Amino acid sequence: MSLKIRLPQPGGVSVPEWWARLQWWSMRAAQRIESLISRNAWMAERLRFFRAWRADPRGIGAIMPSSAALASAITREVGSHSGDVIELGSGTGAFTRALARRGVAQGAMALIETDPDFARQLRRDFPEAQVCCLDAARLAGEPLFGGRTVGAVVCGLPLLNMPLRQQVGILRGSFSHLRPGGAFYLFTYGPRCPVPRTVLDRLGLRARRAHSVILNVPPAHVWKLTRRSSKAL
Ligand SMILES: C[S@@+](CC[C@H](N)C(=O)[O-])C[C@H]1O[C@@H](n2cnc3c(N)ncnc32)[C@H](O)[C@@H]1O
């Protein structure tokens, strides 16, 4: 006769002890495998990012993807109310996932990424988004969203590593797609806005520090650029 144990469930059904043990161990094993897989996906993303950085340190601009805290801060004012959104330098999608969590549908996202491997993976991860493997400085005239303007641009580009002419091209192109009242969000690890005052003045833009992310390593600041007047850009 086999030993029976009573499981704490409403019906009080008795099952053989070996069966209960087997179920318990298989549940633990499944949990362990799941956690290993998710840890590996996390590690695989960092490995891909690090490899890309090693191949092009200035172009990638960071050795690891942005933290969830920074992704949350840079997307804080963006959501389904923004309509269509452009993301510059999506990398492995740290900000893209935050945009999705904020309610921006993939179909409302245009992801601009110059690295072909990152662009390929972004197409797999966000199949409904428009992924453009393109230098963000060539955005002007690019037919995104059938000519509709967007509510926000979220920028993950290493602007400080870029010459002024490229920065100006990126801002001109981005604001050509931004509707009146729309905003351009960017981040930096330094205390100052990465876009110099001379460039802001030339383009008629205002910069305001919107959020600080002390928990990021290193601490980061989110800046918000808007037009000073309807005549700007
Ligand atoms: C600092 S990483 C940020 C990646 C991601 N947004 C994040 O925060 O984890 C910068 C990204 O911008 C891309 N990038 C650099 N220059 C670019 C350019 N001119 N146009 C489009 N993407 C560019 C790089 O390939 C890289 O994926």
Residues 213 and 102 grouped into a single domain: yes
Residues 49 and 99 grouped into a single domain: no
Contact between residue 85 and residue 177 where contact means Cβ atoms under 8 Å apart = no
Q: 89 exposed, middle or buried (CB, 10 Å; 0-12, 13-18, 19+)?
A: buried
Residue 3 counted as domain residue: no
Residue 90 counted as domain residue: yes
- In this predicted structure, the answer to whether residue 3 has a pLDDT above a threshold of 50 is no
Count: domains in the chain: 2
CATH at 191: 3.40.50.150
Model confidence band, residue 33 (pLDDT cutoffs 50, 70, 90): confident
Residues with C-beta less than 6 Å from any ligand 1 atom: 59-62, 65-66, 88-91, 94-95, 112-115, 118, 135-137, 156-158
Residues 127 and 96 grouped into a single domain: yes
Termini Cα distance of the chain:
85
- % the chain with pLDDT above 90: 75
Task: Tell me the helices (H) and strands (E) count for the chain, helix number first.
Answer: 7, 9
Residues 148 and 216 grouped into a single domain: yes
ipTM value: 0.99
Residues 34 and 121 grouped into a single domain: no
By most ligand atoms within 8 Å of CB, the mutation choice from 45, 64, 75, 90 for ligand 1 is 90
Residues 171 and 145 grouped into a single domain: yes
Which tens digits make up the pLDDT trace of 81-93?
999 999 999 999 9
Boundaries of domain holding 23: 14-55
Entry field: residues in the chain: 233
Which tens digits make up the pLDDT trace of 189-199?
998 999 999 99
Residues 44 and 70 grouped into a single domain: no
Cβ neighbours of 188 (radius 10 Å): 17
Please tell me the distance between residue 156's alpha carbon and the centre of ligand 1 in angstroms.
6
Question: Which residues lie below 8 Å from residue 76, measured CB to CB, with a gap of 6+?
Answer: 210, 211, 222
Please tell me the distance between residue 3's alpha carbon and the centre of ligand 1 in angstroms.
62
